Amino acid sequence: MASVTFKNVTKIYRGRRGEEIPAVLDLNLEVPDKSFVVLLGASGCGKTSTLRMVAGLENITSGEILIGDRVVNDIPPGERDVTMVFQNYALYPHLNVADNLAFGLRVRHFPEKEVARRVREAAAILGIENLLDRRPRDLSGGQQQRVAVGRAIVRQPRVFLFDEPLSNLDAKMRGQLRAELIKLHQRLQTTILYVTHDQAEAMTMGSSITVMRDGAAEQSGPPLELYRNPVNTYVAGFLGSPSMNFIRGSIANQSCAPVFRESGGGTMEVELPRDERVLHAAGREVLLGLRPESFQPLMPGEKPDAATFPAHLDIVEPTGAESICYLQTGVNTLVCRSRHLISPRETGHRMLFRADPSQVLLFDPVDGRRLA
């Protein structure tokens, strides 16, 4: 097993006419030994390029990548002791599952006895022992993906690289394989660098997430730390579903308590904590960030307070365990994830909601950086 370290790594491709196509820009990232780190970002932000540079499939324009304490910039792919699992599984169609699993070992001239042992072991870990004789075309998508993971396992690499391995699967299969990969990581005690654009996958699988944007790391940390303490609106908006609400307004300092007022005559006006950073924002325009679960409808018997505001209920989506409500403040549509069951009969009514002041975030409306 080994750590992976990115030091000021930049990757610039050359286009057909010689133009520069920047893919990764000055990336600094530490993937500790035995950790499960997720690179999360929108399409085109440089995730695959990052993995391909670790695997040695792409050269590094500048900076250094270390596997363990060895700089691998000039080490050929075959000597890096990493394996990559791709989004399209690329199994050999004419080989059965057992031979697909064995292929990489045979190419490297492993003794047949060792090949058989490792194939058996990987098949047992992945629960595909009964599929060893089948050809890939006779397997479901999930089974094919397990074989692709199996091909990586038999190599016993020091680092696993996963490039959106679950995105071709249906939701149920994705959920199942997600859990299996978490177990696999615990069992193999190995280092995993995992790429996805799916925030739910990142939140549930990673011991740490790095949010990438335009080739650079926006923020790294444990999933809940990023969820609760995003450094800017980009990270805040990327994590969580439904997404965080962003409401434009200003902070006034009223009788020593800061108050947020929605711009444009919206109905949202709430008192905020007397936090130093909030007070510092007094008198200026802000974007208030409120997660859908961070405000709740007032229930009968609950008294309004300074964090209560009215809004009209537009749409209710009861999911069974909770209600997803869309509200109108007159200016903004807000999404609320209510723990209470709200009847669709309430649609169109004015209701009172209470924002949890401890969960309110403030951002700069111009550059999106976190203020409080």
Enumerate binding residues for Mg ion (CB under 5 A). 48
> DSSP H helical segments within the chain, as ranges?
47-55, 97-107, 112-126, 141-153, 171-188, 199-205, 223-228, 233-238, 276-280
Q: Which does 289 bind (CB under 5 to 8 A by kind): Mg ion, ligand ATP, none?
A: none
Which CB sits closer to Mg ion, 195 or 335?
195
Q: Contact at 8 Å (CB) between 322 and 339?
A: yes
Q: Which C-beta is closer to Mg ion: that of 165 or that of 297?
A: 165
Q: Is 21 in the site for ligand ATP (CB under 6 A)?
A: yes
Asked if 53 touches ligand ATP (CB under 6 A), the answer is no
17-47 burial, b for 16+ CB within 10 Å, e for fewer? Answer: eeeeeebbbebebebeebbbbbbbbeeebbb
Q: Which does 197 bind (CB under 5 to 8 A by kind): Mg ion, ligand ATP, none?
A: ligand ATP
Nearer to ligand ATP, 13 or 92 (CB): 13
Token pair for residue 237? Answer: 């908006």
**23 makes contact with ligand ATP (CB under 6 A):** yes
Tell me how far, at minimum, the Cβ of 39 lies from ligand ATP, in Å: 8
Find where tokens 């600094």 sit. 28
CB < 8 Å & 24+ apart, contacts of 165-169: 165/85, 165/86, 165/87, 165/194, 166/196, 166/198, 166/201, 167/87, 167/196, 167/197, 167/198, 168/87, 168/88, 168/141, 169/141, 169/142, 169/145
Among 17, 18, 19, 43, binds ligand ATP (CB under 6 A): 43
* Candidate residues 2, 38, 40, 45; the one interacting with ligand ATP per rule CB under 6 A: 45
Residue 45 binding result from Mg ion, ligand ATP, none, given CB thresholds of 5 to 8 Å by partner type: ligand ATP
Told to check if 92 binds ligand ATP by CB under 6 A, we report no
Return the residue of 8, 13, 71, 88 that touches ligand ATP, per CB under 6 A: 13
Residue found under tokens 């193999």: 188
Task: Find which of Mg ion, ligand ATP, none residue 49 binds, CB within 5 to 8 Å per kind.
Answer: ligand ATP
Maximum alpha-carbon separation in the chain: 80
Q: How far is the CB of 49 from ligand ATP (least distance, A)?
A: 3
Closer residue to Mg ion (CB): 48 or 190: 48
Q: Which helix (H) or strand (E) holds 288?
A: strand 285-290
Contact residues: ligand ATP, CB under 6 A: 13, 21, 23, 41, 43-49, 197
